[in-house]
Amino acid sequence: MTVLQRLRPDHAAALLAFERENRAYFAASVPDRGDDYFAGFDARHSELLAEQAAGLHHLHVLVDGEGSVLGRVNLVDVADGSAELGYRIAERAAGKGLATATVRKVCVLALAEYGLGVLRAVTTEDNPGSRAVLSRTGFEPAGEIVLDGRPGLRFTLDLRALGDPAGAPR
Encode pLDDT of 25-54 as tens digits: 998 887 778 889 999 999 999 999 999 999
For residue 91, being part of any structural domain is answered with: yes
Task: Report pLDDT digits (tens) over 124-168.
Answer: 898 899 999 999 999 999 999 998 888 999 999 999 987 654 444
> Among residues of the chain, what percentage have pLDDT more than 70?
95
For residue 124, being part of any structural domain is answered with: yes
**Residue type at 99 in one-letter notation:** A
- DSSP H helices, the chain, are 12-21, 23-27, 35-39, 41-53, 98-112, 128-136
Residue 58's domain comprises 3-162
pTM metric for this prediction: 0.90
Count of alpha carbons within 13 Å of 123, Cβ hemisphere only? 24
For residue 36, being part of any structural domain is answered with: yes
Domain count, the chain: 1
Give the SS3 label for residue 139.
coil
For residue 170, being part of any structural domain is answered with: no
Mean pLDDT (the chain, rounded): 92
pLDDT at 32: 78
pLDDT at 112: 96
Query: Which is nearest to 93 in space by CA: 54, 64, 132, 65?
Result: 64
Q: Any idea what the CATH number is for the domain that residue 68 is in?
A: 3.40.630.30
For residue 100, being part of any structural domain is answered with: yes
Q: What is the mean pLDDT of residues 68-79?
A: 97
pLDDT at 164: 54
Give the pairing of strands 118-124 and 150-158: antiparallel
With a cut of 90, say whether residue 23 has pLDDT above it: yes
Q: What is the mean pLDDT of residues 111-134?
A: 95
